[in-house]
Amino acid sequence: MIIQDPPHVIVATGSHTGKQRQNNEDRFAVRSYRLGKNEQPVLLAVVADGIGGHQAGEVAAQLTVETLLNTFKGFEGGDPLPLLGEAIVEASQVVAEAASESSERSGMGSTIAIAVMIGSSLYTSTVGDSRIYLIRSGQLRQISIDHTWVQEAIEYDIISPDEARDHPQSHVLRRHIGGEQPPDADFRMLLQDGESDAQALSNQGVTLDPGDQVLLCTDGLTDLVEDQEIHAALTTRPPEIAVETLTDLALQRGGRDNITLVVLATPLESEIFIARPRSRRLLKTVPAAIALVLVTLLAMATLWWFGYWPW
């Protein structure tokens, strides 16, 4: 793959330390590539939320993002999920090894949320409680699943979703990057209510429509901003303004944590983000050249007919 700008979709990003943290332990990256001879556009977006004090969280998040970017350079097309799974396992090992080398970094870790767009096809993966949302047909849906104690409690009907928000164990993670055991990358993508795990897995590679938006964010946003407010911002404002609006809203409500957002918006004209092979552009160029030759010959014949032939 070759790194190439600009990306084939609209990208808006933002990251803020918040009001109560000294360091920003969130990290994010967006990379745009061209793949193979047909120059198929590929975009990789990743958000990581570091865990651990004494600046260890930001180290873990940085290592997580860097490892993912380095591994993804080897993508050669097809299904990206196996490579993403390998990258997540490798990132976890890198973070765990770094944590073992320093007592100050002991126990550090990170969450991760990844979106890959190959042309107009979307693939996702998550570990932890950083989320991925999809807006399509004017509707907002969280398509990722939180790996937290409260999410499991909701699934087992131990607590209600309303009780989960302020629950004392709301941030107890069940999966994270940097643990003793490699985490299972979650490839479920929930596009409809009541989908089984198998159905959610089969949604990978869904074709995005013009105007669809994908949001990756850390819990510094979702802890303080409701889904309907996220929906309102993204559907009534351009992506860059929406990112600023949502960040400001979280800050106004205390900004307890770092706040990071990445928005990917497909253009309204679908042909903008569908790869155009050079052969197709050549087919458009040849008829134009033939037409130009015919017009020139016709002009010369007209001059000859009326006696203006210069020779």
- Taking the domains of the chain in order of start, what are their residue ranges? 2-276, 277-311
pLDDT score of 150: 77
Angle of the 239-252 helix axis to the 227-236 helix axis, nearest 10: 150
First to last CA, the chain: 56
Structure token digits, residue 69: 């970017």
Q: Which helix (H) or strand (E) holds 53?
A: none
pLDDT score of 283: 38
Within 13 A of 80's CA, how many CA atoms are on the CB side? 29
Peptide bond connecting 6 to the previous residue in cis, omega within 30 degrees of 0:
yes
For residue 158, the one-letter residue type is: I
pLDDT score of 305: 53
Asked if residues 29 and 87 have their Cβ atoms less than 8 Å apart, the reply is no
CATH for the 2-276 domain, from 3.40.50.1860, 3.60.40.10, 3.40.50.620, 3.40.50.720: 3.60.40.10
Cα 158 to Cα 88, 134, 153: the distances in Å are 30, 28, 5
Instruction: Please enumerate in sequence order all residues whose Cβ is within 8 A of that of 197, keeping only pairs 6 or more positions apart, or say none.
Output: 188
Asked if residues 40 and 34 have their Cβ atoms less than 8 Å apart, the reply is yes
CA 311 to mean position of chain CA atoms: 67
Asked if residues 19 and 256 have their Cβ atoms less than 8 Å apart, the reply is yes
29: buried, middle or exposed (CB in 10 Å: 19+, 13-18, 0-12)? middle
DSSP 83-120: HHHHHHHHHHHHHHHHHHT-GGGTT-EE-EEEEEEETT
pLDDT score of 170: 64
Q: Token match 């979307």: residue?
A: 122
Residues of the chain with pLDDT under 50: 270-286, 309-311
| 85: nearest Cα among 47, 123, 28, 35 | 123
Q: How far apart are CA 222 and CA 230, in angstroms?
A: 9
Q: Which helix (H) or strand (E) holds 174?
A: none
Residue 168 is classified by DSSP as T
Q: Token match 């997580």: residue?
A: 64
Q: Which residue intervals of the chain are DSSP H helices?
A: 56-72, 81-100, 149-155, 161-165, 197-202, 219-222, 227-236, 239-252, 278-305
pTM of the model: 0.84
pLDDT score of 64: 98
Asked if residues 248 and 233 have their Cβ atoms less than 8 Å apart, the reply is no
